[in-house]
């Protein structure tokens, strides 16, 4: 496909803001693997949970806006003039990313709900209900595992997604990356 054939339209400002805000937040959240592994006592653990659940809730709220814009309001997205197979792979990765962006906050919220420690989102709202109900370690472990597997899968997809973006920028030198950075 010749590069001069490419259509030049970009994602609109709303898409770009949501994309980059969520990208930064999700990358920060993925550092939780190291954070949770390094806690040495309950106090540190609760502080980690507070930061993590607060940022995670923000990701969830931005995600609702993004799903609304993309699938309900159907704000137009740029059409890339790419071979069919490449378009299909990119779309599959994008939809899988959307699926995981829903799965991870939902399982995160449920993990928090069944956590034995208080999970104080924004320092104010205790998401954990374990003190009122029977603490169920098996259920907690299953939910946490579901959350963890989601985060591992999203890491693999992000490598493909980011790798794809740089392939377009550095090898194909087309406008795919620019459509999300907004540069001319």
The residues of the shown chain that bind ligand HEM, judged by CB under 6 A, are 26, 29-30, 32-33, 36, 49, 52-53, 56-57, 59-60, 104-105, 108-109, 111-112, 115, 119, 127, 144, 147-148, 151
Task: Report in angstroms how near the CB of residue 59 gets to ligand HEM at its nearest.
Answer: 4
* Pick 147 or 168: Cβ nearer ligand HEM: 147
Token couple for 5: 């054939």
Measured between alpha carbons, how far is 56 from 54 in angstroms, rounded to an integer? 5
Q: Note whether 25 and 62 are within 8 A (CB).
A: yes
Task: Report in angstroms how near the CB of residue 78 gets to ligand HEM at its nearest.
Answer: 26
Pairing type for strands 120-121 and 125-126 reads antiparallel
* Pick 111 or 179: Cβ nearer ligand HEM: 111
Bridge-partner residues for 126, per DSSP? 120
Task: Report in angstroms how near the CB of residue 32 gets to ligand HEM at its nearest.
Answer: 4
* Pick 22 or 176: Cβ nearer ligand HEM: 22
Measured between alpha carbons, how far is 51 from 144 in angstroms, rounded to an integer? 17
Q: Note whether 176 and 168 are within 8 A (CB).
A: yes
Task: Report in angstroms how near the CB of residue 60 gets to ligand HEM at its nearest.
Answer: 5
Nearest Cα residue to 110 out of 125, 129, 135: 129
Task: Report in angstroms how near the CB of residue 77 gets to ligand HEM at its nearest.
Answer: 23
* Pick 146 or 182: Cβ nearer ligand HEM: 146
Token couple for 168: 């377009």
* Pick 66 or 147: Cβ nearer ligand HEM: 147
């Amino acid at each position: 496909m010749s590069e001069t054939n490419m259509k030049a339209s970009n994602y609109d400002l709303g898409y770009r803001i949501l994309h980059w805000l969520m990208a930064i937040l999700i990358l920060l959240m993925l550092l939780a693997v190291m954070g949770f592994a390094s806690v040495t006592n309950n106090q540190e653990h609760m502080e980690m949970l507070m930061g993590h659940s607060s940022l995670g809730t923000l990701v969830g709220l931005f995600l609702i806006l993004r799903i609304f814009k993309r699938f309900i309001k159907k704000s137009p997205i740029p059409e890339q003039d790419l071979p069919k197979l490449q378009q299909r792979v990119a779309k599959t990765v994008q939809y899988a990313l959307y699926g995981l962006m829903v799965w991870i906050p939902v399982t995160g919220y449920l993990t928090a709900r069944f956590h034995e420690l208080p999970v104080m989102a924004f320092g104010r709202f205790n998401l954990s209900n374990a003190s009122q109900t029977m603490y169920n370690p098996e259920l907690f472990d299953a939910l946490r595992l579901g959350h963890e597997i989601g985060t591992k899968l999203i890491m693999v997809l992000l490598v493909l997604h980011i790798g794809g973006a740089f392939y377009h920028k550095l090898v194909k030198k087309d406008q795919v990356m620019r459509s999300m950075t907004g540069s001319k």
